[in-house]
Amino acid sequence: MSSSVNETLRGFYVENRQQLYTYAVSITHHREAAEDAIHKAFQQLLRRDLLPTDLRPYLFRCVRNAALDGLRRAKVRGDSIFDESVEPDSHAVRAPEAPSLAELNQWLEMLSEDERETIVLKIYDAFSFQEIAGLRRVPLSTTTSWYRRGLAKLRTMVAQENL
Amino acid sequence: MNYSEEQLRNARLASPSEALDRRMQETFARAARTQPSPRRAIAWRWIAAYVATGIAAVLTVVATHQRTVPARPAATQVLYTIEPQGPMRQLLLDSPAGNRPPPRFLVSESTQ
């Protein structure tokens, strides 16, 4: 492991810790497992001498693999990607029909794994569809389809809730 | 952006714990301290050494060769004329029988 690899990974972690965590929790549904997955992925990468040029999709894929690996071992699930412990900002005007974080999480949980993962990567991790396709190793059309289908399901759930 | 996307985007996300940050910092610090010589780096160093030795050997041979070979004289134009000898020469010099004038015949009248 060269010192440049160490510095690169350290910088990447500092810049992307929130996105990596949200992504990992969306896969594991367990915060500790998500943190373990991130830690494990970085530990493995620190043993390497070289890193790929396009580090971001690669590192997210490593975290995904570690999270899936942890998912196979443990079955304790149920954590949300949202911070439900804190009340929404009192200054923010919340629409009466706006769902709570618990509801949003519940709806996200009702999506398929692929749909939820694509939505998290697109909305919270600022990945493009092309990058998601590269990360997941699927055609571009598949990722856009997962995303649109997931959002359509969410819209339906919101509409049913507001009836 | 539609309503669902906006709602998701505005939702407050759970943050990683400070314990994770501490774990990560410890991991980075430990990795920086140890820095073992990786096998691949050693292999690359050997390959680089072999290549450098090869290039040096080739350069040495080329330099030595240039010193030992004398300078060539300036080129001069040489004209070679090839002439056949013996029967071949005769055949080429003698024109074919068809090209020669016919022999002259002398006819004389005799009463005897």
Q: What is the ipTM of this complex?
A: 0.75
Amino acid at A39: H
**pLDDT tens-digit profile of A25-53?**
999 888 999 999 999 999 999 988 888 88
> Averaged over B44-70, what is the pLDDT?
87
Third-level CATH fold of A95-163: Arc Repressor Mutant, subunit A (1.10.10)
* Bridge partners for B13 per DSSP: A82
Q: Note whether A26 contacts B: Cβ–Cβ < 8 A.
A: no
**Partner residue opposite B17 with nearest CB, options A35, A81, A104:** A35
**Partner residue opposite B11 with nearest CB, options A46, A104, A151:** A104
pLDDT above 70: percentage of residues in chain B: 88
Report the C-alpha gap between A43 and A56 in whole angstroms: 16
Domain ranges of chain B: 38-67
Domain ranges of chain A: 1-79, 95-163
DSSP three-state, residue B55: helix
- Are B16 and A6 a contacting pair at CB < 8 A? no
**pLDDT tens-digit profile of B74-109?**
888 888 877 777 777 777 777 777 777 787 888 888
> Averaged over B47-72, what is the pLDDT?
86
Q: Note whether A94 contacts B: Cβ–Cβ < 8 A.
A: no
Closest Cα to residue B11, out of A150, A94, A117, A13? A94
Amino acid at A18: Q
**Interface probe, candidates B2, B8, B18, B28, chain A, greatest A C-beta count within 10 A:** B8
Distance of CA A155 to the CA centre of its chain: 20
B35: left (phi > 0), else alpha (psi -120 to 50), else beta?
Answer: left
